[in-house]
Amino acid sequence: MTPLSEFIFLSVLGSIFTLIVSTPWRPWLMKRLSQYTIPSFNLFKGFTRSGIVFSDSTNTHNSTCAFNKQKLDIIHDLSDCHEVASSFSTLVQQDGAGCWPPRSNHNEKTWPACLQAYKDIYHEMAPLLPAENASLDDNINERRIFEFRTRFVQLLSQKVDLAEVQRLLHAADAGRWDVFPRDAYNGFYCCVAWCRHAYSIPVVRLAQLEKSIALPMELVMPWNSMQSHFGLDSESGNNMSNLVLNFNPAGGYALKINTGLSTLIQSSEEEFARIFQEVEVLGVPIYCSIVESILAYARGDKESCLEHVRDIKGQLRPLLSSYYDRVHDAKIARSVWLSRVQGFYAWGMGHQNITNGEWEKFDGLSGNQVLLFQALDAFLGLEAYLPRLIQERNVPLLQRRFCKVVKKHAFRGQLADEGLDGKIKKEFEDIVKRLRVFRSAHRTRAKVYLTQPAPERLPMTAGKSLLKEDMDQSLLFLDQFMVGRLQQTV
């Protein structure tokens, strides 16, 4: 197949998937299709349920975590043998608080005392955040924003002992994880990220047009300290701080955007967030196999290397199903995602850089920050999708280091065509194919979600800030990124 015809084929395939999940004929189609085994995807899992439902992921989460723990222990034991094992193990031990996805403690009763005020404030502010019906009137929105921020500032200044918080953060910087355990650090990072996004509230036109924001000191000082700990320099939250860390160790969703609104809205919000956490849960065997295949190749054990690369291909299927099974109207309602979910994760503000005087604008969260895709791209020998500057803003340092080491030891380009090399090469090609199908389907599905009406807002994605004047131009702009990445995935 020529690259052009393959490209067209994948685009059509992506559109067919999207049509299947969005057509009113879905129940009929499901009945027909369920007679056949579709080996590549778990696409139809969960479709028998009617309406929007929450996933029953907690049991699966617990058993998968136990399995992951064994895998992580194996890699930890190998950390003296190879830098790729040590860099992954360091990521898990430090940022992950000994686990992956990172352990994030949201039980504020077990947090250091001076931090509990932040959680109390979350509980008080969360119900005030969403509006039943977004207003199109700038004056009404201006007043709402003013009242919301005024209350936020009051609570922060009344309840937070900033000097105590600073002492605690200094203790963490000095490695005193006994007084500030890493899992509580992660939970607190997520809580401050939530507060900053809630305060900036970029869900209506008026707030989207703000060029910069003076956040209260109680949300600036801890944020700067923790961003520096994670090796990041953005004012906005990121995929780790707001999504992956927003689940407790049992898999429960912690800090909410749409408290008190309909089940449809709340479940769409949670299902969306859950993809990012689940991708990391299901990503653990992939990270471990990446490490093990590199080690096997380095010691010349190609049989074992082949097994590990084959495992990656196999593990990619359930992982991508987490996306395929959720990013459709029955799980994440299109009618609510843009207004009620995505807006909260966006960020378009910035500040003047004191060194060069230039205006620096930060973007919010995007799937492009997900570790799994960056690690896979590195393993396949592809160039990173995100430029270095954007990575340094949104992808924690230890994750960047892991991907860099994977790229350094990626061996796909050294394989010959014959024998075991040829077999390993074939597995790599299958991994690439799965990624291409994902990228093609993602292109189609993203467009469907982004074109929903949200008259209270200007075109904006969470990851690319404010876009062009009208939606068609904005979509063209975004499509260039997605098409470009699809073409690079070879």
Question: What is the rounded distance in angstroms from the CA atom of residue 47 to the CA atom of residue 34?
Answer: 10
| Interface residue with ligand HEM, options 348, 463, 465, 474 (CB under 6 A) | 463
User: Residue 458 in contact with residue 209, Cβ under 8 Å?
Assistant: yes
Q: Which of 274, 457, 464, 474 binds ligand HEM (CB under 6 A)?
A: 464
- Amino acid, single-letter form, for residue 120: D
| Pick 222 or 283: Cβ nearer ligand HEM | 283
393 contacts ligand HEM (rule: CB under 6 A): no
Q: How many residues contact ligand HEM, by CB under 6 A?
A: 24
Of 9, 205, 385, 425, the one binding ligand HEM (CB under 6 A) is: 385
Q: Is 449 in the site for ligand HEM (CB under 6 A)?
A: yes
**How far apart are the C-alpha atoms of 338 and 448, rounded to whole Å?**
10
Number of neighbouring beta carbons within 10 Å of residue 74:
12
String marking each residue 332-361 x if it binds ligand HEM according to CB under 6 A = -----x------------------------
Q: Rg of the Cα trace of the chain? A: 23
The distance of closest approach from Cβ of residue 373 to ligand HEM in the complex, given in angstroms and rounded to an integer, is 4
Residue 223 CB, nearest approach to ligand HEM (Å): 22
Q: Taking the CB of residue 307, how many other CB atoms lie within 10 A of it?
A: 16
Q: Does 370 bind ligand HEM (CB under 6 A)?
A: yes
Rounded CA gap, 211 and 405, in Å?
37
Query: What's CA 446's distance to the chain center, in Å?
Result: 15
- Smallest distance, ligand HEM to C-beta of residue 228, A: 25
Closest C-alpha to 92, from 287, 276, 282 = 287
Q: Which residue's beta carbon is nearest to the bound ligand HEM? A: 367
Instruction: Evaluate whether 223 touches 144 at the Cβ level (below 8 Å).
Output: no
Smallest gap from Cβ 441 to ligand HEM, in A, equals 10
The residues in 422-441 that bind ligand HEM, with binding defined as CB under 6 A, are 439
Position 478 contacts ligand HEM (CB under 6 A): yes
Assess 279 for contact with ligand HEM (CB under 6 A).
Answer: yes
DSSP 247: B
> Which regions of 353-412 does DSSP assign to beta strands (E)?
359-361
Q: Which of these ranges, 13-21, 182-190, 275-283, 422-430, lies near ligand HEM under the rule CB under 6 A?
A: 275-283
DSSP 8-class letter at 330: T
- 368 lies in the binding site for ligand HEM (CB under 6 A): yes
Name which position in 276, 324, 344, 362 contacts ligand HEM (CB under 6 A).
Answer: 276
Q: Using an 8 Å Cβ cutoff, are 302 and 115 in contact?
A: no
Minimum Å gap between C-beta 449 and ligand HEM is: 4
CB of 437 to ligand HEM, least distance (A): 11
H helices of 102-137, in order, are 116-125
- 396 is written with which tokens? 């924690």
> Whole-angstrom Cα distance, residue 446 to residue 257?
21
Q: Is 442 a known ligand-binding residue? A: yes
**Binding of ligand HEM by 482 (CB under 6 A):** yes
Smallest gap from residue 410 Cβ to ligand HEM (A): 17
Per CB under 6 A, 275 contacts ligand HEM = yes
Identify the residue among 115, 305, 327, 349 touching ligand HEM (CB under 6 A).
Answer: 327
CA atoms within 13 A on the CB side of 79: 15
**What Cα–Cα distance (Å) separates residue 32 from each residue in 21, 46, 331?**
14, 15, 21
Contact 250, 122 (CB under 8 A): no
Distance in angstroms (rounded) separating the CA atoms of residues 77 and 83 = 12
Q: Is 323 near ligand HEM (CB under 6 A)?
A: yes
Place of tokens 């924690």: 396
Which of 246, 366, 399, 465 is in the footprint of ligand HEM by CB under 6 A? 366
Based on CB atoms, which residue is closest to ligand HEM, 87 or 321? 321
Q: Which residues are annotated as a binding site?
A: 442
Q: Which residues bind ligand HEM (CB under 6 A)?
A: 275-276, 279, 323, 327, 337, 366-368, 370, 373, 385, 439, 442, 446, 449-450, 461, 463-464, 478, 481-482, 485
